[in-house]
Amino acid sequence: MKEKDSSPTPLPHSKPKKRLDMVVKLALGVVVMSFAMIWGGMYLTRPDRSIPPYSVGSQVGHIVAMHVPHDTTDLGVETLVKRFRKVGRLTHHFAKMKVQPTTPGDPAGWYRKIVVYVFDDDGWAEPEMLNKYLAGDAEVVKKYGKAMRGYYRLHDQEEEGGLGPIPKAESVSDDTRILFKGRVTDTIPAELEPEDFSISPM
């Protein structure tokens, strides 16, 4: 009687793992870097949701007419006006607010003075309307103020901002609510700082 072979059955040889080809590694690296750059770009250029969306309709010298959506609340307009105040105080440079230099070449600054009108009807912010208003067209001047939702003005260190039509000289309309007025060096009480106003920008 033959004895059974007690030797263990040999295990099948495992195939050696293939290393990734250098070209494949480079391709994967490029893909990962591309996604990282796209994500980083989207993060850095993400819309500012703390202010309502706005667009500059026209600009004549230091006068700027811009518009916001029709459904923008007074709080939204107030937040936008106060953002101009913040920029005026921190940098005095309104390029980040889509405004072209208002006093280009001026040694005292390219934004030494600026006046911003805010409308919720883009028609009033068009160049034709702004030019007629500045030319003193009686019919346009009468309606222009009524259509205004807010304003901001800065001259050197003096600033003012409010809701409604911009005051003319010392005459303040009943429809105007002045939010702030004084020098950019004045201290802003914490309770007067705007709250966040989340809304999708244009």
DSSP string, 115-128: EEEEESSGGGGSHH
Tell me the pLDDT band of 196, cut-offs 50, 70 and 90: very low
Q: Tell me the average pLDDT across 52-72.
A: 96
What percent of the chain shows pLDDT beyond 70? 74
Helices (H), 64-202: 74-90, 127-135, 138-147
From the list 152, 83, 84, the residue with the least C-alpha distance to 118 is 152
In this structure, what are the phi and psi dihedrals at residue 41, rounded to the nearest 5 degrees?
-65, -40
Question: Which of residues 70 and 42 earns the better pLDDT score?
Answer: 70
Tell me the pLDDT band of 82, cut-offs 50, 70 and 90: very high
Domain residues of the chain, as ranges?
Answer: 16-46, 55-192
